[in-house]
Homo-oligomer: A and B are copies of this chain.
Amino acid sequence: MMHSTPLLSSSKFASRQLRILTRTYSVNLTNNKFNNKMPHFMEPSTSPQYPYFETKRTISSAATKLKTKPKPTTKKNHNNFLPADQLTLAELNDNVLKAKYAVRGAIPMRAEELKIQLQEDPSSLPFDHIVNANIGNPQQLNQKPLSFYRQVLSLLQYPEILKQDESKLVASGLFKKDALERAKTLLHEIGGTVGAYSASQGVYGIRKTVANFITKRDNGEPAYPEDIFLTAGASAAVMYLLSILCKGPETGVLIPIPQYPLYTASLALNNSHALPYYLDEKSGWSTNPKEIEEVVLAAKDKKIRPSVLVVINPGNPTGAVLSEKSIEHIFEIAAKYGIVVIADEVYQENVFNEVKFHSMKKVLRNLQKKHPGVYDMVQLASLHSTSKGVSGECGQRGGYMELTGFTHEVRSVILKLASISLCPVVTGQALVDLMVSPPKKGDESFEQDQAERKHIKSELHTRAMQLYKNFNTLEGIECQKPQGAMYLFPRLDLPFKAVQKAQHLEMSPDEFYCKSLLEATGICTVPGSGFGQEPGTYHLRTTFLAPGTEWIEKWKIFHQDFYNTYRD
């Protein structure tokens, strides 16, 4: 309809333009905060000459877009047609419009605005820097990359270095001997250059290394390179798995609540149902198999097919680690109802000493042995990533998934979809190889590598415990003891007056708390409403990646003030 443009007067035309631009903002300012803030978020600084909007965008400045453009003519133009309008939201894919992603939502975007403000006028705010506790991005918060990784990756990018005299290279102190060796091996497996497309499933030699890692991790339960798909981080794997497994509204996907919002976003994109199962906060965010089965049956009653069950272990945002028993219960449901299990295990390295991580694959194999024939048809996709753990190489986009129990025909479809996007970045694939096969005892890099890993782990653990203890000293905060991952998800018992104030501001109460925290201290967190939570409860997610403790002290002071202000 927009496309067969009726004849209009010049003024009408202009006013229609203004309407379009105004609508942009009215939409944004109401239900579309995300969109409204996004451009700032994306622009650490904005070029003043950009004619279409300024840093502080307003309707009037948006309208300048019109002024910067010649007034449209309505006289029959050179080729005797009237130009049609620009696209409106109504003309876009509704599923994309529905998708939400709080981790880079309104609060983090406000933080980016404040960053710009600090650059422009450092004294204009009660703090001098933003603490990005909203996203698990370790190296942004000064976690050092592991030296061995980076030595190898630099050699892969520039193999000329390998032509130098080896003893000289080692003498320079820049490269350890085993890094040089690994680079040569990887270059051979990759086919000589990281600049060529690899097979869509990933470099075979690297998939072999992954299979060996899994076999070792799972007490000898064999894994096979044929079952490994290298991916651009775990997010890519989740998005393309769900795009294959979701048929539309008839499909339901069980997701834990609270969850990592990538899952609800992907389900929105695929127009399928999220079937929430609630984690039990009181028992440290454990899973309740009875509830899961109830959700399955309720979905079937509604003629929704529960096709997939998502498990995040260690949990994001909860930091909880599943017991072997809980995993067995999940597989029992999967076997009984033929539900594909997606195991998001990207935090498998982030587990604190006292707890043990059990891989879903290992537990499945044990069940298959214990109960012949019962669990053979279970289909499992387990995901891992180079972005978390002690690697923290988020920007390198490395990851893998292991497929277990899928038919050849389904695997082939998964592979076909992978091949359409050609291949995951090859350096990211190499990084997966390094992550799953680090220097061994006796290798030149071993001592240093061990020391670096130990340091990162203990730092994370110390800070997690500090934050956890501090939270539980504070009025109206209750925090479960962290077992792993990179996050705490404390519960906020907010004063009634604060809840009222939030409603008045058309915000969820936890969003109001997070926004106030940000504006007062520069600490950027994500409200629980972005992850899902029991109705009537409020939480927030914070990483414990930010170095130092000074920010924790600032948080405590803010929190007391907040409660003093709003206490009933």
- Chain B residues near A139 (CB-CB < 8 A): 192-193, 195-196
Within 8 A of B (CB), among A139-180: 139-140, 145, 147, 150-151, 153-155, 157-158, 160-161, 164, 172, 174
The reply to whether A140 and B91 contact each other, CB–CB distance below 8 Å, is no
- Chain B residues near A35 (CB-CB < 8 A): 408-409, 412-413, 415-416
User: What's the nearest-Cβ distance from chain B to residue A304, in Å?
Assistant: 11
This chain: copies in complex:
2
A63 to B495, CA, bound (A): 64
Question: A157-B154, A415-B39 are known contacts. Are A196 and B395 too (CB-CB below 8 A)?
Answer: yes
A447 to B224, CA, bound (A): 48
The reply to whether A47 and B196 contact each other, CB–CB distance below 8 Å, is no
The answer to whether A225 has its CB under 8 Å from any CB of chain B is yes
The answer to whether A417 has its CB under 8 Å from any CB of chain B is yes
Within 8 A of B (CB), among A26-50: 27-28, 32, 34-36, 38-39, 41-47, 49-50
Question: A50-B226, A101-B419, A425-B397 are known contacts. Are A376 and B200 too (CB-CB below 8 A)?
Answer: no
The answer to whether A382 has its CB under 8 Å from any CB of chain B is no
The reply to whether B87 and A305 contact each other, CB–CB distance below 8 Å, is no
- Chain B residues near A187 (CB-CB < 8 A): none
A436 to B46, CA, bound (A): 20
Selecting from A334-342, A355-363, A466-474, the interface stretch reads: A334-342
- Chain B residues near A190 (CB-CB < 8 A): 395
- Chain B residues near A62 (CB-CB < 8 A): 408
The answer to whether A283 has its CB under 8 Å from any CB of chain B is no
The answer to whether A442 has its CB under 8 Å from any CB of chain B is no
A269 to B244, CA, bound (A): 10
- Chain B residues near A83 (CB-CB < 8 A): 335-336, 338, 373-378
User: What's the nearest-Cβ distance from chain B to residue A273, in Å?
Assistant: 14
A83 to B335, CA, bound (A): 5
The answer to whether A508 has its CB under 8 Å from any CB of chain B is no
- Chain B residues near A153 (CB-CB < 8 A): 157-158
The reply to whether A160 and B164 contact each other, CB–CB distance below 8 Å, is no
A194 to B393, CA, bound (A): 8
A102 to B458, CA, bound (A): 50
The answer to whether A313 has its CB under 8 Å from any CB of chain B is no
The reply to whether A45 and B395 contact each other, CB–CB distance below 8 Å, is no
The answer to whether A249 has its CB under 8 Å from any CB of chain B is no
- Chain B residues near A164 (CB-CB < 8 A): 172, 174
Partner of A396, one of B38, B243, B411, B427: B427
Closest 8 A/B residue pairs (Cβ): A84-B338, A72-B373, A35-B412, A154-B158, A395-B426, A70-B372, A42-B201, A154-B154
